Amino acid sequence: MATLAALKYYAIGLAEKPASPTNADVRRLILATLFLGLLTRTSVAAVSEVGATYNGTICVDATTGAVLSESKADWPGHPASVTKLMTMLLVLEDIQVGKTSLYTPITITKASVGTGGSMVWLAAGETFTAEALLYALMLQSANDAAVALAINRAGSVPAFVTRMNTRAAELGMTRTRFVTPNGLTYGQGPHDTTSARDLAKLSVVLCKMPAALKFTSAKSYTFRPGPKSVNLVNHNRLLSSFKGCDGLKTGWTVAADASMITTAREGEARVIAVVLGCDSPQGAKAAQRVRDQMAARLMAQGLARLALLEVEKAKLHALPARVAPVAAAPKSAQKGSKTAEEPGFFDWLGDLFSF
């Protein structure tokens, strides 16, 4: 068990490499797992990443929260509409404890009307279920729906934002400060502020809620059926281009640049990838495509690492029980004998994952 634990934490970069026997068959299998996963899992339309910048990235195991890869994960950035994931979490948690339900009618107030940015054009006096507003929140990234949910759950936007920050503190999101329920900020702000690592902590909680994934995985939804209906289409392109992807949320504003949290599952393995504040000299659309590429690559690499761990775990479990050998006097090396060992599998693996 100690060897297995050491192996696991080395593979995710948290410990020095343990000793392991070399096995050519396992090496070939892992090579296939890694590179077929990286090369065939996605079909994201390529765009140049030359000159692109970002505030931070991270990929974690959705089950344990263990970090699989990271870059500048604690640097501050602005989440834009990714903020709406915290709004959804609070609504769903209120539903879990019986304070409301998905089908509770919510009457729209004047404070929700004309919020700006992406909207579903709510009108004062209209009534919608919490479920419908959550679909608008996740697919259309509707800022007016975020305000309507915030007022319904806390009485006012400032009171709801206080709840958001309290919950963030409970989750250990130490570099996060929310100022809106929707991430819509302008100019000098103040802006919602967070880090890639903090957003991963939030997402680990959401990925354990089937109700959350129901909303984030939906590709389309008809909001307000009838003459004034709005056909919502999910902004997350990876739902269609990355096998197993079922969430979570994209975001972009002029002040925040392009961000994304996305998750994918393969078998029992699930990973979460975060890209925060991606910008491109080619403009906003290019930045969003670069963001998508980065998230897809992070997820592919993360799933490959988890698959590698499972292969090594199966290999270790298959080893026969060993009896400690009786100590023998060392033999002198014979002339012409080979004493150098073949480079171990983990020497190769360490080089592969040095990025």
Global pTM value? 0.79
Question: Which stretches within 179-283 are classed as H helix?
Answer: 196-207, 210-217, 238-241
Ordered by start, the domain boundaries in the chain are: 36-310
* Beta bridge partners of residue 59, listed in sequence order: 69, 273
Mean pLDDT over 136-158 rounds to 98
Task: From the options 3.40.710.10, 3.40.1390.20, 3.40.50.1370, 1.10.357.10, give the CATH code of 36-310.
Answer: 3.40.710.10
Per-residue pLDDT of 178-234, as tens digits, reads 999 999 998 888 999 999 999 999 999 999 999 999 999 999 999 999 999 999 999
The answer to whether 270 touches 64, Cβ cutoff 8 Å, is: no
Give residues with Cβ within 8 angstroms of 66, minimum separation 6. 12, 14, 60
**What is the length of the chain?**
355
Of residues 49 and 273, the one with the higher pLDDT is: 273
Distance of CA 52 to the CA centre of its chain: 20
Cα 108 to Cα 9, 121, 162, 180, 218: the distances in Å are: 50, 11, 21, 18, 24
Give the residue among 46, 238, 257, 223 at the shortest CA–CA distance from 119.
223
> CA angle 282-286-292, nearest 5°?
150
Q: Does 261 score more than 70 pLDDT?
A: yes
Does the pLDDT value for residue 337 go beyond 90? no
pLDDT 10s digits, 53-109: 999 999 999 999 999 999 999 999 999 999 999 999 999 999 999 999 999 999 999
**Across the beta sheet with 269-278, what order do the strands follow?**
67-71, 56-61, 269-278, 257-266, 245-253
| Helices 2-11 & 284-318 angle (0-180, nearest 10) | 160
